[in-house]
Amino acid sequence: MREVNFDGLCGPTHNYGGLSPGNVASMTHSGARSSPKSAALQGLAKMRFVRELGVPAALLPPQPRPSLRWLRSVGFRGGDDDVIRQAAAGDGVWLRLASSAAAMWTANAATVAPSPDTADQRLHLVPANLNFMVHRAIEAETTHSVLRAIFADEARFAVHAPLPAVSQLADEGAANHTRLHVPGRPAVHLLAWGRRGLGGGRAPVRFPARHTYEAAESLARLLQLDPEHTLLPQQHPDGIDAGAFHTDVLAVGDGGLLLVHELAFADLDGLLEGLRRRLGDGFTAVIARESELPVADAVAAYPFNSQLLTTESGRRVIVAPEESRENPRALDFLSRVQADGHVDAVHYLDLRQSMRNGGGPACLRLRVAMSDQERAAIQARVFVDDPLLEELNAWVERSYRDALDPRDLADPLLARESMAALDELTGILRIGSVYDFQRG
């Protein structure tokens, strides 16, 4: 089994909509001028870097934005240009919702269980319904279509439908999922949640808890996980109120190593005890206390929202955002992790276009552990190699705008440019007609 990091590629309408209460960076940069071309090129550079480290990389394509299908579903009528102009009227909130760039963060695309961990020995994927926020719930249908196109071999893969789109089953995907494993022991899955959908228990008061306990329970059943090796820890309400809207803002794991802030989980001591009992001496937790790394710095610099990776040569590395090097407290923590021998290296990358919208390196990837046979069963051209990267870089250069002002979203020409670019991309990736505008 080798882990493949499926990165999300931002689309030609990448913008700062400020649509996510609780995501401090998203709200801070709301309405700012963006650079879709820079964002896409930064993402492709990260994919190349991860691959050159010795970790297989792949990609998931952007989603069509604005989503004209969704705008029509809420009552806007007429041709494409008419729908865009109507949605842009007034304060333009309908168009901003339909134009969200958030689908680039594929950590929210689905929750994944590799075949050795499931009852039927197939690799299972459950697309997230992202039901808590309107601008993200738009993603579920297209994500399901894309994953079914890529993981098409039903003998090896099970791509489920998203959970029912109700608030009690709000599912935020792998951003709240951590898989830990050590040699000779079954893997342990952490399916975290922020609130009880059916009521009860403590919840945050400042910012919303997006993922429910009931959704976590349902995911464990759909993924066919062993209940003995599945833990459902609650996100710490104080962590959510500080801006840690997903678990991956304050925790990241790989193999038998868990890097975690003390405000990541409500009962951290109980969780660590359960992990040690299941994983034995091969499990290590590195805890950042509030005195060492204040949660405000963790949220601002995203040292946990990094990629914690094991390369094919066995080296363990961290790929962190440049912001973590610029923040003294975050830098000191990551330097301690390396100095204590938990990782061999820490690399810092410029992902500012994504970071300003509230997503770091870990937000941009979906981790999929696969066998060589499973990888060979995928016919889509989504695994990153030099020829694909060169073709995608050229595609971005000719298809994306250098700068985008929020007012540009009301230009119907932008939507036409985006649809033409995505239509070309599906041919490059050999995934067929996965977009609603391609199917009529």
Of these residues, 246, 261, 323, 374, which one is catalytic? Answer: 246
> What pLDDT, on the 0 to 100 scale, is given for residue 410?
95
Write down the residue that tokens 């995928």 correspond to.
378
Burial of 371 (0-12, 13-18, 19+ CB in 10 A): middle
Burial 136-170 (b: 16+ CB within 10 A, else e): bbbbbbbbbbbbbbbbbeeebbbbbebbeeeebbb
Greatest pairwise CA separation for the chain in angstroms: 63
Low-confidence ranges of the chain (pLDDT < 70): 18-30, 357
Q: Which amino acid, one-letter code, is at 264?
A: A
Of these residues, 124, 139, 141, 363, which one is catalytic? Answer: 363
Of these residues, 172, 214, 262, 374, which one is catalytic? Answer: 172
> How many C-beta neighbours within 10 Å does residue 216 have?
27
172 is catalytic: yes
Are the C-beta atoms of 110 and 125 separated by less than 8 Å? yes
Q: pLDDT (tens digit, 9 = 90+) per residue, 306-348? A: 999 999 999 999 999 999 999 999 999 999 999 999 999 999 9
> What pLDDT, on the 0 to 100 scale, is given for residue 25?
52
Write down the residue that tokens 């914690």 correspond to.
308
> What pLDDT, on the 0 to 100 scale, is given for residue 30?
64
Are the C-beta atoms of 111 and 177 separated by less than 8 Å? yes
246 is catalytic: yes
Burial 71-90 (b: 16+ CB within 10 A, else e): beeeebeeebeebbbbbbee
> What pLDDT, on the 0 to 100 scale, is given for residue 16?
84
- Helices 412-429 and 80-88: angle between axes, nearest 10 degrees: 120
